Amino acid sequence: MKKIFVKNCIVELQGDEMAKVVWESLKEKLILPFLDLQIKKFDLGMKNRNATNDKITVQAAEAIIKNNVGIKCATITPDDKRVKEFNLKSKFPSPNGTIRNILNGTIFREPILCNNIPKIVKHWNKPIIIARHAFGDIYKSKDLRIKDKGKLFIEFKSNDGKKLIKEEIYEFKSDGVGMAMFNVDKSIYDFSEACFNFCLERKISLFFSTKNTILQNYDERFKEIFDELYNSKFKISFEKNNLTYQHRLIDDMVACMMKWSGGYLWACKNYDGDVMSDLLAQGFGSLGLMTSILQSPDGKVIETEAAHGTITSHFRQHQKGLKTSTNPIASIFSWTKGLWHRGRFDKNFELQKFCETLERVCISTIESGKMTKDLALLVGPEQNWLTTEEFLLCIQKKLKLMF
Ligand code: NAP
Ligand code: MG
């Protein structure tokens, strides 16, 4: 078997726990035997982030920007329990957040559909792709506990001191909480541009949701920017391709999403995207079938990953020496999607064809009745399931027949 030559390198971000175990196994069975590939590796495992004071995460993000393509395994985001477990120097931030901020990217989450896997929402027969604006809002907010009587204000002062905006938020007569948050026009423009471009490339329509009836300055600005960019740059191409763009209130959009059958991009503000992407993952079946792409505004830098975490519960079984049935599909798709973009940038059609073939083989393996436990449970009590290793070997056997 002749390996497919990949001229430019990709950046691999290694992770933690069960996700890492599955990662190494799928790489060895489905990627390395087929591709002549140069990989720049960054170990983002919890131990190494601690050893490097998290510098490794920043270095990895810089390498992704330089090399255009990053493929990432799930990593632990430490909480207090993890600080104890790993004896961490500090509660390091989420690597995904760090990388997202450096790439200034938009996250697109897309479910993988298989004919024989029932969905909780049965009529969702086309993917609902969700784009999350990964900057600002509550993730960069300041929140307070108030333990006194008094007034809470929000204030803006210009650098030259000439402009001052000061608004009273609330007069506390008893204990409570408060918060202030922000966003910036540039990031919203970048987000909207990424969304419009994504829709044109994939030939799907766009819905953007906010709560601009309540946040008449904050969310209204988001809507204005989307409208402005659509009218000035994308309207003609959208109409040519019979695509539409619409703004909807978030509550109305949630209702429509339940009613409609899919096949569109839903652009969400940061928090909405965080929450709704988990809702969609369950609605479509399994977290093991949800993929995630982080894309820079100009579309030239891509980081791909599975949407699920490090699957700690399975890792505890694995540590006891037990075999697990962990779904590797989303992790495999992080490789195929990342490498597909490598192929797009390099005009390496053989590589793109390999990626498309591997994705088809994954889906047809599941559709032939071979699957992991998470999917079998969705199908029903009659459905047999394989261990992770058995399932990966099935895919490998099928893939070998194609090359
Ligand atoms: P998780 O790893 O996504 O797992 C949650 C549950 O979903 C699992 O216990 C498992 O259910 C099921 N599941 C997820 N992926 C699966 C797969 N591929 N195959 C089969 N079942 C799967 O989320 P978590 O347990 O909340 O988080 C674990 C760690 O991951 C945390 O430290 C968190 O910080 C981190 N995390 C990282 C990322 C990332 O790097 N992008 C994202 C989310 C969470 P059963 O136990 O019922 O089988
Ligand atoms: Mg979430």
DSSP per-residue letters across 235-280: HHHHHHTT--EEEEEHHHHHHHHHHS---EEEEE-HHHHHHHHHHH
Neighbours of ion ligand 2 (CB under 5 A): 274, 278
C-alpha to C-alpha distance for 252 and 21, rounded to whole angstroms: 42
Structure tokens at 345: 């940038």
Q: Which segments of the chain belong to CATH 3.40.718.10?
A: 1-111+303-403
Q: Domain 1-111+303-403 in CATH: superfamily?
A: Isopropylmalate Dehydrogenase (3.40.718.10)
Q: Which segments of the chain belong to CATH 3.40.35?
A: 119-138+182-284
Distances, alpha carbon 150 to alpha carbons 141, 155, 180, in Å: 21, 16, 17
For residue 188, the model assigns a pLDDT of: 96
For residue 287, the model assigns a pLDDT of: 84
- Check if CATH label 2.40.160 holds for domain 119-138+182-284: no
For residue 364, the model assigns a pLDDT of: 97
Query: Which parts of the chain have pLDDT scores under 50?
Result: none
Indicate which atom in ligand 1 lies nearest the CA of residue 22: 18
Residue identifier of the C-alpha nearest atom 25 of ligand 1: 311
> Residues near 355 by Cβ (< 8 Å), separated by ≥ 6?
336, 337, 339, 340, 343
Q: Is 106 in the pocket of ligand 1 (CB under 6 A)?
A: no
Query: At 331, which helix (H) or strand (E)?
Result: helix 329-346
Q: Is 384 in the pocket of ligand 1 (CB under 6 A)?
A: no
Q: What is the mean pLDDT of the chain?
A: 95
Q: Contact at 8 Å (CB) between 153 and 165? A: no
Ligand 1 center to residue 297 CA distance, Å? 28
Ligand 1 center to residue 52 CA distance, Å? 25
> Residues near 289 by Cβ (< 8 Å), separated by ≥ 6?
111, 112, 113, 114, 117, 281, 327, 329, 330, 375
Residue identifier of the C-alpha nearest atom 43 of ligand 1: 309
**3 state DSSP class of 62:** helix
For residue 286, the model assigns a pLDDT of: 78
For residue 22, the model assigns a pLDDT of: 98
For residue 282, the model assigns a pLDDT of: 82
Residue identifier of the C-alpha nearest atom 4 of ligand 1: 311
Indicate which atom in ligand 1 lies nearest the CA of residue 95: 40
Q: Contact at 8 Å (CB) between 312 and 306? A: no
For residue 9, the model assigns a pLDDT of: 96
C-alpha to C-alpha distance for 301 and 65, rounded to whole angstroms: 6
End-to-end CA distance of the chain: 7
For residue 258, the model assigns a pLDDT of: 94
Q: Is 303 in the pocket of ligand 1 (CB under 6 A)?
A: no
Q: Is 287 in the pocket of ligand 1 (CB under 6 A)?
A: yes
Q: Is 98 in the pocket of ligand 1 (CB under 6 A)?
A: no
Q: Is 374 in the pocket of ligand 1 (CB under 6 A)?
A: yes
For residue 134, the model assigns a pLDDT of: 81
